[in-house]
Structure 1
Amino acid sequence: MNTAPTSRLGQLPSYVRICVRQAHSGKSKRPAKGFAPPEGHGEDIWVFGHRRTDQIVYSFDEKLNGFHDLKQLPFNGKKTKPAKLRKDYWSPFARISFPAGQGSVGRSVFQKLRELKHLHEVAWDKEFRYKRPEEFTAADRKRIAEEEEKGNNNYRPIRNKEERGAALNAQKQNSIADMAAILSGAGRGNKIVVSEDAGRAERKLLDVTVSWANDQDKEYAQEWSGNVTHGLFEKPTYIANKHVEETATETTPEEEEVDEKKVDEKADEEAEANPESDKGTNVPVSEPTTPTRT
């Protein structure tokens, strides 16, 4: 007698329990991808620079984070990466401000700035190996003169390992040029481009404001697009045209005459108030004596 059907029927209750268990413990709803950023996140991008090495750190916060922001600094050789971010060395030199509610655009610009910064640090060409004229030392100039006497006019001093590391750290000029390029709409998927026609002849860019600690830093970029408005920090470190504005107000000859009259009237009033002050004191003057020979 075949007992297989009986054994299978005995397993039926266990199958039912398994199905019921799976029905009750079904897959829960997965949370939505991504996260809700805090209000205003990405509307301001702070650009920090090192006072000595010109290293660059981008941040969404006004103050640097010693853990996360330190990861932006690469290792370019011995003693090229600091152990921590010191407040006396790091300070913001620029702030990119986007309109309220446009934090997504700011986050897109932030991403592209980080990508270009990394590209400058790792993808440098052979020209980077050679020193610039302002980096020449006395020994370099002497060697250049010797090579020219030998007929080698193409000799150029080469940077050593330490000098290459210092040159790779100095990214301030590159970062300002990157800011001008990205804020003008460069780069695929740049959200600062609000609208773009099929022929790409005209693009509408989002208006942004760039505030500077030193108003001359913006001159590192060749040009800025029309959607960028420049400003200054509340407490700027340097203003190029400040002394020009102070001396810009020139007085006319008539105003000078009025000022001279006011000075004379004030002097007369002081003389009337203190008549004794006009009297001078007679100090005897001794005549010079000629030395006598003995």
Structure 2
Amino acid sequence: MASNIKSFQKVLDSTALAATKFIRRPPIDPKTPIQGKPRVPGSNAFKDHQEKEGRRLQKALNSISHGKNIFVYSNIRTKQVVYSLTRYLEKNNLLKQCVNHGKKTIPATVRKDMWVPYFSVHFREAQVGLNEMITVTKEYLDSKRPVDLRDQKQWDKENMGRVGQIMMKKERAYALMNQKATAIADVAFVLQKHRDHILDGVPESSKSGYKTVKARRRRRAALLKEAEQAKERAGQVASLEEQLQVEITADHSAPQEQSVKILWQDPYDAQCAKNWPGYIEHGQLRWTRNHLIGQEDFPVPSEDIIADGSFEQA
């Protein structure tokens, strides 16, 4: 019977499992001593201990594929873009990435209904992992032009002479917050820049040892501490596997050898880059009912990815 159960074990993605409510609020044995004695499950001490255990489990699960995935979310209202090494958004990490462009340009908290998946980047190895003045352009004015023909004449008289002038403070703030196009162009540029590292691996010159005795001593101490943390996290993951009777692995979206995979919510967004290196695998994100980036992808033919012409910031 045990062999049959073992043969039907599920394989779960560690990055997706870390975002579940089960991990954020893991089950705790009521007999577990908390602050010196067992606590009632509804008490504040029990809830606080449960929350801390959930954060420890999340860190242990994220360490399995740390650095191999970059998950990108965009704000549906302001078009702000944030990057995360975890599939779920952390409040402190999100708010630190938002640049202050003026009053009410940084969200007060993380609203799940405002941040949606944009795209994700996946690597085989973890190691591989604005203009000074913004002026008004004709394209920018065309996008703001009123639809009503009766208002267009007066609007053109007031605004068409602004071409080439510096944007007003409020307009500049919204232009800087719109990072969707620049995020894609930046990803394409960085992937092209690190072409040799992706195809040939990390060069040996970057793995050279430290020259001074103190530096080597500090490095040895750091390696020992890192090994202890890895052993502790591996034990936490193993205990969770035994509890769930499943096998927890790294992300299922791992690309092929010597390649990088990009999964798009909208493949048409790839046109924001001037060109893409040949070793890039493009795919489409699977739609999900929640606001997390999906685990599986739909393959997209390379001819459907439009990345032609130069990229210019509006």
* AA matched with 1:134: D
Partner residue of 1:84?
109
Cα distance between partner residues in 2 of 1:230 and 1:208: 9
Structure-2 change in CA distance of 1:218 and 1:51 (3 Å): same
Q: CA deviation at 1:143?
A: 3.2
- Could you give the per-residue CA deviations for residues 212-271 of structure 1, whole angstroms, max 9, x where no partner exists? 11111111112100010100112279x9x9xxxxxxxxxxxxxxxxxxxxxxxxxxxxxx
- Greater Cα radius of gyration, structure 1 or 2: 1
TM-score (norm 2): 0.48
Unaligned regions of 5+ residues in structure 1, if any? 1-35, 107-119, 148-153, 198-204, 242-294
* Backbone CA RMSD of aligned residues: 3.2
Partner of 2:186: 178
Aligned residue type for 1:66: K
The aligned residue for residue 234 of structure 1 is 286
Give the Cα separation in 1 of the matches to 2:201 and 2:127: 15
The structure 1 residue matched to 2:275, chosen from 201, 223, 226, is 223
Which has the bigger relative contact order, CA under 8 A and spacing at least 6? 2
How far did 1:90 drift? 0.3
Give TM-score, length-normalised by structure 1.
0.51
Calculate percent identity across the aligned residue pairs: 31
For 2:135, give the aligned amino acid.
R
Structure 2, unaligned stretches of length 5 or more? 1-59, 146-151, 204-256, 290-297, 301-314
Q: Report the counterpart of residue 99 of structure 2 in structure 1.
A: 74
Q: Does 1:125 align with 2:110?
A: no
After superposition, the Cα gap between the structure-2 partners of 1:140 and 1:159, relative to the gap in structure 1 and judged at 3 Å, is farther
Q: Distance in 2 between matches of 1:38 and 1:211?
A: 22
Query: Pick from 252, 260, 273: which aligns with 1:208?
Result: 260
Partner residue of 1:65 out of 90, 101, 108: 90
Aligned-partner Cα distance in 2 for 1:195–1:226: 17
For the structure 1 residues 156 and 48, does the alpha-carbon distance in structure 2 shift closer, same or farther, using more than 3 Å as the test? same
Q: Which residue of 1 aligns with 2:156?
A: 141
Alpha-carbon shift at residue 177 of structure 1 (Å)? 0.6
**Equivalent residue pairs, number:** 169
**Aligned equivalents of 2:201 and 2:122: distance in 1?**
20
Residue pair 1:130, 1:159 contacting (<8 A) in 2 also: yes
AA paired with 1:103? A
Match of 1:103 among 126, 144, 161: 126
Asked whether the 8 Å contact 1:49–1:56 carries over to 2, the reply is: yes
Moved over 3 A (4+): 135-140, 154-158, 190-193
C-alpha displacement at 1:140, in angstroms?
4.7
SS in 2 for 1:85: coil
Look up the equivalent residue of 1:73 and give its one-letter code. C
Pair 1:79–1:40, CA change in 2 (3 A): same
SS in 2 for 1:184: helix
Match of 1:183, as an amino acid? L
2:123–2:261 Cα contact (<8 Å) kept: yes
Aligned partners of 2:199 and 2:259 also within 8 Å:
no
1:234–1:155 Cα change, 3 Å: closer
Within-5 A mapping of 1:1-294: 38-99=63-124, 102-106=125-129, 120=130, 124-126=131-133, 128-131=134-137, 132-137=140-145, 138=152, 139-143=154-158, 156=164, 158-185=166-193, 191-192=197-198, 194=200, 206-235=258-287
> Equivalent residue of 2:200, what SS?
strand
SS in 2 for 1:105: coil
CA contact (8 A) 1:49 1:57 kept: yes
For 1:79, the aligned partner's letter is K
SS of residue paired to 1:181 = helix
User: What displacement does 1:194 show?
Assistant: 2.8
SS at match of 1:210: strand
Deviation, 1:142, is 1.2
Contact 2:141 2:159 in 1 (8 A): no
The CA distance in 1 between the partners of 2:275 and 2:171, in whole Å, is 30
**One-letter code aligned to 2:141:** P
